[in-house]
Amino acid sequence: MTKEHANWSPYDNNGGTCVAIAGADYCVIAADTRMSTGYSILTRDYSKICKLADKSYMASSGFQADVKALQKVLSSRHLIYQHQHNKQMSCPAMAQLLSNTLYYKRFFPYYAFNVLGGLDSEGKGCVFTYDAVGSYERVGYSAQGSGATLITPFLDNQLKSPSPLLLPAKDAVTPLSEAEAVDLVKTCFASATERDIYTGDSVEIIILNAKGVRSETEQLRKD
Confidence band, pLDDT 50/70/90 cuts, at residue 33 = very high
At 172, is the pLDDT very low, low, confident or very high (cuts 50, 70, 90)?
Answer: low
Q: Which has the closest alpha carbon to 78: 53, 49, 59?
A: 53
Phi/psi at 6 (5° precision) = -65, -30
Q: What is the pLDDT of residues 40-93, one digit of tens each?
A: 999 999 999 999 999 999 999 999 999 999 999 999 999 999 999 999 999 999
Helix/strand/coil for 7: coil
Predicted pLDDT at 6: 80
What residues form DSSP beta bridges with 18?
A: 31, 144
**pTM of the full structure:** 0.93
CA atoms within a 13 Å half-sphere pointing along the CA-CB vector of 105: 17
Q: What angle do CA 186, 67, 207 make, to 5 degrees?
A: 30
pLDDT in tens, 106-158: 999 999 999 999 999 999 999 999 999 999 999 999 999 999 999 999 999 99
User: What is the pLDDT at residue 162?
Assistant: 67
Mean pLDDT of the chain, nearest integer: 94
pLDDT of 178 reads: 96
Q: Which residue has the higher pLDDT, 165 or 110?
A: 110
Q: Is the pLDDT of residue 29 over 80?
A: yes
Per-residue pLDDT at 165: 76
**What pLDDT does residue 171 have?**
67
How many CB atoms are closer than 10 A to CB 37?
14
